[in-house]
Structure 1
Amino acid sequence: MNHNQNSGTVQRHKEHSPMKQHDHHKQTDRHHEKTGHGGHHDSGDGQMMHHHGDFKKRFFLSLILTLPIFFLSSMTTMLTGIEISFPGADWLLFLLSTIIFFYGGWPFLTGMMTEVKAKNPAMMTLISLAIVVAYLYSTAILFFSSGMNYFWELATLIDIMLLGHWIEMRAVMKAGDALQKMAELLPGDAHLVTEQDEIKDVPLQEIQKGQIVLVKEGEKMPADGRIVRGSTHVNEAMLTGESKAVAKEVGSDVIAGSINGNQAVRVEVTATGEDSYLSQVIKLVSDAQKEKSRTETLSDKAAKLLFYVALAAGIITFIVWFWLSADWSEAINRAVTVLIIACPHALGLAIPLVVARSTSLSAKNGLLIRRRMALEDARLIDTVAFDKTGTLTEGEFKLTDIVVETGTEDELLQIFAALENQMSHPIAISIVQEAKSRALTFQNADQVTAISGVGLEGKVGGATYKIVNTRYLRQHWPNLDLAKADQFAGEGKTVSFLLKENQLIGYVAIADEVRETAKETINGLHKLHKKAMMLTGDSRQVADKVGAILGIDYVEAELLPQDKAKTIQKYQHQKETVMMVGDGVNDSPALATAKVGVAIGAGTDVAMETADVILSKSNPKDVLYLIRLSKETYRKMIQNLWWAAGYNILAIPLAAGVLAPIGLILSPALGAVLMSLSTIIVAINAQLMKVK
């Protein structure tokens, strides 16, 4: 049997993948991509939680203090013509503004120090430049001179920047919070089955890998495991988004937190604690939260450029105005106006608001974004490569044909079942089920080992047997007549051969249904002007049959796991950007090699493997949504950056007085109106993001 040909069927091979070192390199590269955003992202989950609450607290307190500043500032007088004055009003205005400057502005001031030390000024430096200049200039005006102060500008700038950072952190933590709540829903105790076959209730944290637990009707699975006795239906909606109860039998994997249905089952624990599915998913979401997207980097570059532009514009403005007017006060006023206006409030919200919206949309549609860069990269994909079994097909195998060369069908099936009984992949289960349905008894096989890319080998009754695929048979016995086997393969069936001491004694054919959504997925890709490719270890005849049914552009068959990765590399060397969609187990080399790796399904192994995105509903059609979401997210980010930068492109020259000769100078009041308008447009634009 070709156990390596079906990516959903090869759990036992995953430790031996020759491409694991590449997997490691890709993960290392991703680690280097991750960095703090303007000095406020930290490496620890606890620190992220702290900053999330910290920004929220600073924002609301600053917002409350901004209200009296509005009524006391000269900006309000200029806008409304109403002046509020009473003894000590100036001191109250100064006190409130000072609290906002040091309390609300502290994250930005410390962030500026980090950026300056790194000699890499960006958003924090730009914000700090504006608030420091506004605070110092306004203080000087208030107590030592006359004119308009900028305390209102100072307060609103800090408010909006705090709001932007809070929104960003809340958005990226939302998915993680939901998953953490799932972990908290696990039962407190488990029913441990002792060696004496007695049932003993023990705390969940005492359960260890390899132990057997009893899960009663309606109870939650206490740990990841494999059913060893009984059959049932399990509700995994909380974990995978799949509302339909999933049938589980002996050999089926179950996930901690899923709800057992109508029958009690015994489960062998395969993972606990940090190794469990929930813990792995929580960790990968946490990792994704700390990663900065390419467009966020672009906004930092824009902020860096604006910092230098503002600094240069401020200095030039001062020099020109002083040279033309010889008025120190007016020259300083113009330069300060430029420096304050140069910091766009909207730029601080441009990316976080879109991130928040795209995070919400992806979660609602069952996309678990493990690597945020992947969400942007998905729009650049030229070709989507699919694994066949369990991705384009259902992965629910049924034994349809038996061909005997020596002995009887029952004898052949008994040997097959003896070898496959130790395996948990779908093909093995289908063979064992067929043997049991015929009421056949079979021996225990000894020394069963996997043969990578071929099948398996073991001893039954002292004789050595091999289960191999078509490719292996043709390589070693090219003259064998395999016409009947080829006919089965031409019908889209998988054929597995049984050898006894290197002599063919028979073979079986196993059918797997093509997913109903697979055809829609391929058609959808073509409408998006993307190509579809199938990578499978199955025979050429089976692959071509499925490829023809679905209308796939490229079909690559009879591939080992490392061959899939090499095939993707080949296409990428031809300047095609490739997304790989597989089950996340034996497809890990290909998932790691592709520009974007997408795991279909949310089994325990998927969470531990190398996918960038996990489709929790196990529907390949969600790939179309991922691509469309990527395009729309990027489009909205770029739109928002232009709206934010557009304010500066217009405001800085006007504030500097470029049109002063014709009597047009941007007043601080009008600058504030333009700033607010830009911010409102950015916020509305982000919320209007929809994916068809």
Structure 2
Amino acid sequence: MKKEIPVDGMSCAACAISVENTLKSQPGVKLAAVNYANHAATIEWDEKTVTLEALQKQIQGTGYDLLIADIEQEELEEKQRLAYKKIKAKTIYAGLLALPVFIIGMFWMNLPYGNFIMWAFTTPILFVFGNQFFRSAWNQTKNLSANMDSLVAISTGIAYLYSSFNTFFPSFLEVKGLDPHVYFEAAAVILFFILLGKTLEAGAKAGTGEALKKLMGLQPTDLIVLKNGEELTKKTIDVQLGELILIKPGQKIPLDGKIIEGESYVNENMLTGEPIPILKSLHSQVFAGTINQAGSFVFEVEKISKNTLLSQIVDRVKSAQGSKAPVQKLVDKVASVFVPAVLLIGLLTMVVWGFSGVEEAWLRGMMAMITVFVIACPCALGLATPTAIITAMGKGAEMGILIKDAESLEKGVKIDTIILDKTGTITEGSPKVSEFVEMGNCTKLDRQVIYSLEKKSEHPLADAIADYLSAEEMAIQDFRSMTGHGVQGVAENQIYKVGNLKWIKTSETILHPELEKKSQNALEEGFIVVFASKNNQILGFFKIADLIKETSKEAIAILKKMDIEVHMLTGDQEKTASMVAKAVGVAHYQAEMLPEHKSKYIKKLQSQGKKVGMVGDGINDSEALSVADLSIAIGHGTDIAMDIAEITLVHSDLIDIPKALNLTKKSIKIIHQNLFWAFIYNIIGIPVAAGVLFPMFGFLLNPMVAGAAMALSSVSVVMNSLRLKR
């Protein structure tokens, strides 16, 4: 059997890896692939060897759940939203309780009943708001493994139990001349910061499912089917091949097919990225998710819902996101060895002290073991990444650069190739008139008439011409719109036309050779050319193009200085692509590319060992953004592009790309420094806590000093992270 089954309880891609590894380890499971993008596991298993119920039980043992009963997608998404809200609420409540514990533990240590107050506030932090760490640690222990949660649970648990004992039975140590110190503030603050890190991660990862939902939402759920001359409403998923669908102005096209009646302009921006709608007439292909504009038409269905080009994009985005599970963080890698090592060192410390023969040997041994556990508390480790991320995110936001998570920062350091979409990324994203080339016979009145004709026109380029002329509208008689050709009308007893040259020349209009040569040059440069005439005389032509942003050329030059190779991919025609690439200094470019072509191009570069960053703004870029090593969205782009992207440039300015890459490099450098000092602190502190200096110097570390040292290590990590603000 092979089936896709929803998985509950995953909050990040690392969870998906854990579930996948558990499934793969089960006898009878031939294939297991867990996709965090759609929170589902694709499992192939032998029913004679293992049942779904047995697999579900194994997954439940690791803290997740296989939803083997049929469940609606909306219900699953609701579960995930509730899970995020739950961890967010836990973090807030833990922070509110941890604050007074921290203040009392650090500044009001002699407050009457202070220990009891701290115990009362810390207990719910551990066993209500932070209970997930203890459950996770127990599940890891049952599977003979350990992670960061194990370290958090052990260290905070030991600190809490030791502090609780000293709170309720202080005389046990006092009669032996020892100070019954407590570490409630350490346990409370550690759990709060670890929860904060988990919340930030869960919030950042929550967008992937929403992105896919928006992408799938481009396909209408209902449509109009023509049957025996009648219009019938039908669900898109129920439509069969060969059925006839009626599309009215403004409607989204629900399926792929071929026009058999009518014509219209269709906006295919979501597929090609190009802003200018395309004229569709008899036998033209239309695609699901694209938008019909002015006219109505009937098309014959050639691909059902699950086989449309849009559905293929959705599937490839799912697959690409699922394959981008993050590398295991350094902390988790070390924790798998570090946790057992700390436990072993602690137990050995107590045993060695117990048999040492010194006075109160076993009590000293117990104190030394507790000191080892306290000093090994992962506060600095837990803070190393979140504090740097929070600071980097804040600094990025000031610069108009929104960063998704730590993984995005890590990827930015490795990027050596940047792929740029053209339309809306290098260029403004909408057609504009760059020049009106005339022969000198065009009067102010003529311009006013042309403006008035274009104001009445529904052609996609009409607004660009009207915006350029910006005149006062006047009355037009006998206005006609000739689909695919242009518009004409009468003013001051003169016949005016605005449209393509072939149509205008049908009325024996005279075109001056010099003007014709200029128009040919404009076409070769990639401009769209629209002519205007009065009676049988050409007044001139408009050069229309998607203009290049002012800072695009400068940004690309800076990227080249950073030894980053720049490529441009576009769905636009070869001439236009060549013109833009030459203007901004891009040596590598490809034109007339569909979404799957862009992703294949990126995969080809990746196969050559390159680390690729993709910059885009549209639905047509979503697949490429998912495949790239680092995805960067332009702020004015579509929701789907920004949801998938790991970095969003709010100002939609390419000059922010090198700034973003520099920020990632500095942030990762800070994180590595934090982790280095956190580990060094433990490497030095644990042996001292165990008592290695006692035989030579008679020095035995006090648990209270260990707690202070642990706090100092955390402060140093925070202060180092704050350097990013500068």
TM-score, normalized by the shorter chain, greater than 0.5: yes
Task: Name structure 2 gaps, 5 residues minimum.
Answer: 1-32, 42-61, 65-78, 206-248, 251-276, 278-323, 439-445, 489-498, 501-515, 532-539
Sort the Cα spacing of 1:367 and 1:94 in 2 relative to 1 into closer, same or farther, 3 A: closer
Task: Name structure 1 gaps, 5 residues minimum.
Answer: 1-25, 73-88, 177-209, 212-250, 252-291, 404-408, 447-456, 468-481, 498-505
What residue in structure 1 maps to residue 723 of structure 2? 688
In 2, Cα distance between the equivalents of 1:325 and 1:554? 76
In 2, Cα distance between the equivalents of 1:507 and 1:564? 34
In 2, Cα distance between the equivalents of 1:494 and 1:153? 77
What residue in structure 2 maps to residue 66 of structure 1? 105
How high is the TM-score relative to the length of structure 1?
0.59
The one-letter code sitting in structure 2 at the alignment partner of 1:628 is N
What's the secondary structure of 1:586's corresponding residue?
A: helix
What's the secondary structure of 1:421's corresponding residue?
A: coil
Sort the Cα spacing of 1:48 and 1:109 in 2 relative to 1 into closer, same or farther, 3 A: closer
What residue in structure 1 maps to residue 93 of structure 2? 54
What residue in structure 2 maps to residue 116 of structure 1? 138
Aligned pair count reads 489
Alpha-carbon contact 1:153-1:672 (below 8 Å) kept: no
What residue in structure 2 maps to residue 81 of structure 1? none
1:528 Cα shift? 2.1
Alpha-carbon contact 2:602-2:612 (below 8 Å) kept: yes
1:174 Cα shift? 11
Do structure 1's residue 307 and structure 2's residue 339 form an aligned pair? Answer: yes
What residue in structure 2 maps to residue 421 of structure 1? 458
CA RMSD of superposed structures (Å): 4.8
Alpha-carbon contact 1:588-1:609 (below 8 Å) kept: no
1:585 Cα shift? 3.4
What's the secondary structure of 1:630's corresponding residue?
A: helix
What's the secondary structure of 1:534's corresponding residue?
A: strand
Do structure 1's residue 562 and structure 2's residue 596 form an aligned pair? Answer: yes
1:431 Cα shift? 5.4
What residue in structure 1 maps to residue 120 of structure 2? 99
In 2, Cα distance between the equivalents of 1:489 and 1:127? 66
Do structure 1's residue 156 and structure 2's residue 156 form an aligned pair? Answer: no
What residue in structure 2 maps to residue 623 of structure 1? 657
Sort the Cα spacing of 1:293 and 1:158 in 2 relative to 1 into closer, same or farther, 3 A: farther
Q: Comparing 301-310 with 434-443, which one deviates more in the overlay?
A: 434-443
Note the 1:664-683 alignment, pairs <5 A.
665-668=699-702, 669-683=704-718
In 2, Cα distance between the equivalents of 1:349 and 1:336? 22
In 1, Cα distance between the equivalents of 2:619 and 2:346? 58
In 2, Cα distance between the equivalents of 1:560 and 1:29? 26
Q: Deviations over 1:656-691 (max 9, x none)?
A: 223433226451244234323212211111111147
1:552 Cα shift? 2.0
1:39 Cα shift? 9.4
Alpha-carbon contact 1:493-1:511 (below 8 Å) kept: yes
The one-letter code sitting in structure 1 at the alignment partner of 2:189 is I
The one-letter code sitting in structure 1 at the alignment partner of 2:609 is K
In 1, Cα distance between the equivalents of 2:330 and 2:37? 18
What residue in structure 2 maps to residue 345 of structure 1? 379
Note the 1:321-400 alignment, pairs <5 A.
321-325=353-357, 327-370=361-404, 373-395=407-429, 396-398=431-433, 400=435
The one-letter code sitting in structure 2 at the alignment partner of 1:515 is K
Do structure 1's residue 545 and structure 2's residue 584 form an aligned pair? Answer: no
What's the secondary structure of 2:692's corresponding residue?
A: coil
In 2, Cα distance between the equivalents of 1:574 and 1:420? 50
1:389 Cα shift? 2.6
What's the secondary structure of 1:529's corresponding residue?
A: coil
Alpha-carbon contact 2:617-2:642 (below 8 Å) kept: no
What residue in structure 2 maps to residue 534 of structure 1? 568
What's the secondary structure of 2:91's corresponding residue?
A: helix
In 2, Cα distance between the equivalents of 1:345 and 1:319? 27
What residue in structure 1 maps to residue 549 of structure 2? 515
What's the secondary structure of 2:355's corresponding residue?
A: helix
In 2, Cα distance between the equivalents of 1:548 and 1:460? 34
In 2, Cα distance between the equivalents of 1:340 and 1:371? 30
Sort the Cα spacing of 1:656 and 1:52 in 2 relative to 1 into closer, same or farther, 3 A: closer
Alpha-carbon contact 2:455-2:462 (below 8 Å) kept: no
In 2, Cα distance between the equivalents of 1:62 and 1:307? 26
In 1, Cα distance between the equivalents of 2:651 and 2:615? 14
Alpha-carbon contact 1:564-1:590 (below 8 Å) kept: yes
What's the secondary structure of 2:356's corresponding residue?
A: helix
If asked which structure has higher relative contact order (CA below 8 Å, sep 6+), I would say: 1
Q: Comparing 673-682 with 166-175, which one deviates more in the overlay?
A: 166-175
In 2, Cα distance between the equivalents of 1:296 and 1:154? 31
The one-letter code sitting in structure 1 at the alignment partner of 2:147 is A
Q: Deviations over 1:563-616 (max 9, x none)?
A: 222222221221112111122233233223222222223255566764333222
In 2, Cα distance between the equivalents of 1:293 and 1:390? 29
Do structure 1's residue 132 and structure 2's residue 132 form an aligned pair? Answer: no
In 1, Cα distance between the equivalents of 2:591 and 2:34? 28
The one-letter code sitting in structure 1 at the alignment partner of 2:594 is L
Alpha-carbon contact 1:494-1:510 (below 8 Å) kept: yes
> Identity over aligned residues, as a percent?
29
In 2, Cα distance between the equivalents of 1:117 and 1:643? 30
1:536 Cα shift? 2.1
What residue in structure 2 maps to residue 320 of structure 1? 352
Alpha-carbon contact 1:584-1:611 (below 8 Å) kept: no
1:142 Cα shift? 2.6
1:634 to 640, 647, 668: 668
